[in-house]
């Protein structure tokens, strides 16, 4: 099932297609998330233990690994909330944290009673679930975005893009348990440059990262054939390529220093259905912690 999200067209200046490998009714994203998804199969009720655990999910933001990967399970038994967050590998820690705080607030608003939800921004993704997230490569859906413009010489474009993505896949997969990210560029047809970025959830094994990316990259021919830009967002891996530099080259090689040893966040007492006053409260708490990082 293809859904053409026409309202996103202007904002993204590209076509956005969302393909759900799932039979529940998908919810279309507002312009702020690139895409998000609320799993309607399992809901929680107001004032349930699950909701209380969700309300304390900002504790996730103290778990930076420190390469922009966060994971936390909170609560007990079937009220456990498993959460994972990942920032794009070239994004600064403070930009990353802001992106994640915003994601949590927004996702709670967009998915007010669903136990499982995922939201994608350009710079970060956040996911929570009552189900196991890490260690499960269960694929519920993927999202892809394609630039509508075709390359002048599709064959030569693909001939340059293919090896770049393969190279990046190898480099990201070999990145080790903390960081699986690679960005780079290659010369395309007619002195153009093609820029690419790939990333896996760091907890994936090298092999799982390879196969997640392989599966995604193998769809380029079918989904993006000859398009000058495209990206795929999957829960465990992602890629993007463009004919302009869209990533932060300086940050791509900078290794973060030692893990910040953060004090636990004072748990915000979020009422059911976060609203803006709550998000401001959340930011007051976390912005203070951000300052202590620098």
Ligand X SMILES: *[C@@H]1O[C@H](CO)[C@@H](O)[C@H](O)[C@H]1NC(C)=O
Per CB under 6 A, residues contacting ligand X are 40-41, 43, 71, 77-78, 91-92, 95, 113, 134, 164, 167-168, 171, 182, 184, 203, 248, 250-251, 254, 271, 275, 277-278
Instruction: Give the shortest CB-232-to-ligand X separation in angstroms.
Output: 18
Measure the CA–CA gap between 99 and 218, rounded to whole angstroms.
29
- Per the CB < 8 A criterion, the answer to whether 120 and 203 are in contact is no
Q: What angle do CA 20, 26, 30 make, to 5 degrees?
A: 110
Instruction: Give the shortest CB-254-to-ligand X separation in angstroms.
Output: 6
33/208 with CB nearer ligand X: 208
Measure the CA–CA gap between 109 and 276, rounded to whole angstroms.
10
Instruction: Give the shortest CB-108-to-ligand X separation in angstroms.
Output: 12
187/275 with CB nearer ligand X: 275
Instruction: Give the shortest CB-148-to-ligand X separation in angstroms.
Output: 26
Instruction: Give the shortest CB-16-to-ligand X separation in angstroms.
Output: 22
15/199 with CB nearer ligand X: 199
Measure the CA–CA gap between 9 and 67, rounded to whole angstroms.
32
Task: Work out whether the CA dihedral 115, 116, 121, 123 comes out positive or negative.
Answer: positive
Measure the CA–CA gap between 137 and 43, rounded to whole angstroms.
22
Indicate the angle between helix axes 276-293 and 93-110, nearest 10 degrees: 160
Measure the CA–CA gap between 239 and 283, rounded to whole angstroms.
30
180/227 with CB nearer ligand X: 180
222/277 with CB nearer ligand X: 277
Instruction: Give the shortest CB-273-to-ligand X separation in angstroms.
Output: 8
225/248 with CB nearer ligand X: 248
Measure the CA–CA gap between 144 and 131, rounded to whole angstroms.
24
User: Where is 160: in which H helix or E strand?
Assistant: helix 154-173
52/71 with CB nearer ligand X: 71
Instruction: Give the shortest CB-201-to-ligand X separation in angstroms.
Output: 7
Measure the CA–CA gap between 119 and 108, rounded to whole angstroms.
10
Q: Is 167 helix (H, G, I), strand (E, B) or coil?
A: helix
Q: Can you say how many angstroms the Cα of residue 194 is from the centroid of all Cα atoms in its chain?
A: 22
């Amino acid at each position: 099932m293809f859904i053409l999200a026409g309202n996103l067209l202007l904002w993204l200046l590209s076509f956005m297609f969302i393909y759900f490998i799932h039979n529940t009714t998908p919810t279309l994203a507002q312009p702020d998330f690139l895409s998000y998804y609320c799993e309607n199969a399992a809901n929680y009720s107001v004032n349930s233990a699950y909701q209380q655990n969700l309300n304390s999910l900002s504790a996730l933001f103290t778990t930076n690994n420190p390469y922009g990967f966060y994971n936390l399970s909170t609560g007990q038994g079937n009220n456990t909330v498993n959460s994972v967050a990942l920032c794009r590998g070239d994004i600064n820690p403070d930009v990353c944290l802001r992106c994640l705080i915003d994601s949590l607030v927004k996702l709670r608003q967009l998915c007010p009673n669903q136990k499982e939800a995922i939201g994608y921004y350009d710079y970060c993704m956040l996911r929570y679930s009552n189900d196991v997230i890490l260690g499960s490569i269960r694929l519920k859906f993927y999202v892809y975005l394609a630039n509508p413009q075709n390359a002048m010489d599709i064959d030569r474009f693909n001939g340059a893009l293919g090896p770049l993505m393969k190279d990046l896949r190898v480099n990201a997969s070999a990145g080790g348990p903390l960081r699986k990210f690679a960005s780079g560029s290659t010369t395309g047809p007619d002195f153009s440059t093609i820029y690419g970025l790939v990333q896996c959830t760091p907890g994936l094994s090298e092999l799982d990262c390879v196969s997640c990316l392989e599966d995604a990259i193998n769809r380029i021919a079918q989904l993006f054939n000859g398009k000058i830009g495209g990206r795929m967002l999957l829960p465990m891996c992602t890629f993007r390529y463009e004919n302009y530099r869209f990533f932060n080259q300086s940050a791509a090689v900078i290794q973060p220093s030692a893990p910040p040893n953060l004090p636990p966040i004072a748990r915000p007492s979020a009422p059911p259905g976060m609203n803006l006053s709550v998000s401001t409260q959340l930011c007051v708490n976390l912005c203070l912690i951000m300052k202590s990082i620098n």
